[in-house]
Amino acid sequence: MSIDRVCCRLLVIGALLAMMLGVTSFGLPLVHAQEFEIEVVKENVYLPWSLNFAPDGRLFFTSRDTGEIHALDVTTGDLVTFTPRLPARAGGEGGLLGMELDPDFAQTGVLYVCYSTATQYLPVIRALNTTAVAHAWPATSDLAVNRLSRLVLSGTQLRDEQVLFTMPHGPRHNGCRVLVSPDERYLFISMGDAAEDDRAQNLNSLSGKILRINRDGSIPADNPFPGSPIWTLGHRNPQGLAFQPDTGWLWSTEHGPDTRDELNIIKKGENYGWPICLGVQPTCSVANYEPAVREFYSDRTIAISDLVFYTGSAFAQWQGDIFFVTLKTGRLYRLEVDGEEVVQEEILVNNTYGRLRDIAVGPDSYIYFSTDALDKAKILRMKPVS
Ligand SMILES: [Ca+2]
Ligand SMILES: [Ca+2]
């Protein structure tokens, strides 16, 4: 493992300069700087889209374009790849995307995945490498779907796939973040508009929605639209979901078009405005409109990806803060929130590693994040300077 201290010292100097000025570059007060270092935990992996820590401490991750699920020992670097690979249809923004381990995973091996697939496959060897077999687009694109499945991991074998439901697929905006609620009753799934923006306002389409189902795939009786898994609507491409520990609120990050990536608090039955209204715009013509808590930014996007609330002892002063990563700007942000307001914001990593895809807090309370490279991707961790 290598330690990349150079970036961190530069960042700390930047933070100290900002402290001397008394503000961050975004005009919010900067209260304190925390020194950290970043280690490469694993390199040369295929686009790790979803990072999930298992009860035994291993880091499970999906590889978007190979359709594989891996388990990484973050101490030794040993990597196990489960079989078979899933019939994920890589291409555009699709492939094997989100994953969540069931609360009973240690006993049952049950996990959930959200991935792009097709009802007919044409196996091909992609240019990726000779072992990475993906599946070509079928001749008729209508055959492609995004699928939420329940699987059982037994040893190193994935078996008993049960498709809970399917959603429209698009070349872009396939959402697919999956999260179990803190009360362990529900699965929340984010779904993009599949590049058809009008679908986000259509309650007959699962595109452009955040969905809630019971863990067995059934629809909760108290969902806001009876008989439908739809929990909220009016989303463009939400690819981050996280529950806030102290409030139990569900927060989400969402890609804006060419401006205004969003941070939202997800409230039952609310309409987040897309494609009619954007960002923190306070009012909108749609019913039950909920503006974003914060937008990044009014004149550009950062390509916001997944978020997590920090819990743990390694960075005691960051307890309860939001951390999220970004794609095209390659950033790791930290936000402190108070109620529905962001009161502090800083950029801890600024394109040192290229595009960043997912973020998770490990059982060691270090912050893990992945780069978005097709191959030669890295899994990194941030820890206090020792
Ligand atoms: Ca919105
Ligand atoms: Ca994550």
- Looking up tokens 């139990």 gives 248
Can you give the CATH number for the domain in which 291 is found? 2.120.10.30
Q: How far is the CA of 365 from the centre of ligand 2 (A)?
A: 14
Query: Residue 78 corresponds to which tokens in the numbers above?
Result: 């040993």
Nearest ligand, measured from the Cα of 237: 1
Ligand 2 center to residue 60 CA distance, Å?
11
In degrees and rounded to multiples of 5, residue 9 shows phi and psi of -65, -40
Ranking 29-33, 69-73, 346-350 by mean pLDDT, the lowest is: 29-33
Q: Which residues on adjacent β-strands are paired with residue 243?
A: 250
Question: What confidence tens digit (pLDDT) does each residue in 218-239 have?
Answer: 999 999 999 999 999 999 999 9
Is 123 a residue whose pLDDT tops 60?
no
User: Of the bound ligands, which one is closest to the alpha carbon of residue 253?
Assistant: 1
Cβ atoms of 232 and 267 within 8 Å: the answer is yes
Q: Left if phi > 0, otherwise alpha if psi is -120 to 50, otherwise beta: which for 260? A: left
Sheet holding 230-233, edge to edge: 178-180, 186-191, 209-214, 230-233
pLDDT exceeds cutoff 90 at 376: yes
Q: How much is the pLDDT for 351?
A: 97
Over range 21-26, report the average pLDDT.
Answer: 43
The C-alpha atoms of residue 326 and residue 370 are separated, in whole angstroms, by 10
Q: How close is the Cα of 212 to the center of ligand 1, in Å? A: 19
* Alpha-carbon gap, residue 110 to 58, rounded angstroms: 15
- Ligand closest to the CA atom of residue 98: 2
Ligand (nearest to CA of 179): 2
Distance 195 CA to ligand 1 centre (A): 16
Which residue bears the tokens 């699987």? 151
As a whole number of angstroms, the distance between CA 205 and CA 203 comes to: 5
0.85 surpassed by pTM: yes
Whose atoms come closest to the Cα of 242: which ligand?
2
**The total number of structural domains that make up the chain:** 1
Ligand whose nearest atom lies closest to the CA of 279: 1
pLDDT at 287: 98
What percentage of residues in the chain have a pLDDT greater than 90? 80
Instruction: Please say if the pLDDT value at position 131 is more than 80.
Output: no
Residue with token string 């259509």: 202
State yes or no: cis peptide before 55, omega within 30 of 0: no
Cα(155) to centroid(ligand 2), Å: 24
- Considering every ligand atom, which ligand is closest to the CA of 61? 2
Residue type, 286: V
Q: Which domain holds residue 291?
A: 3-384
The answer on pLDDT for 255 being more than 80 is yes
φ/ψ (deg, to 5) at 66: -95, -15
Residue with tokens 């008394």: 22
In this prediction, residue 92 carries a pLDDT of 83
Q: What's the gap in Å between 22 CA and the centre of ligand 2? A: 31
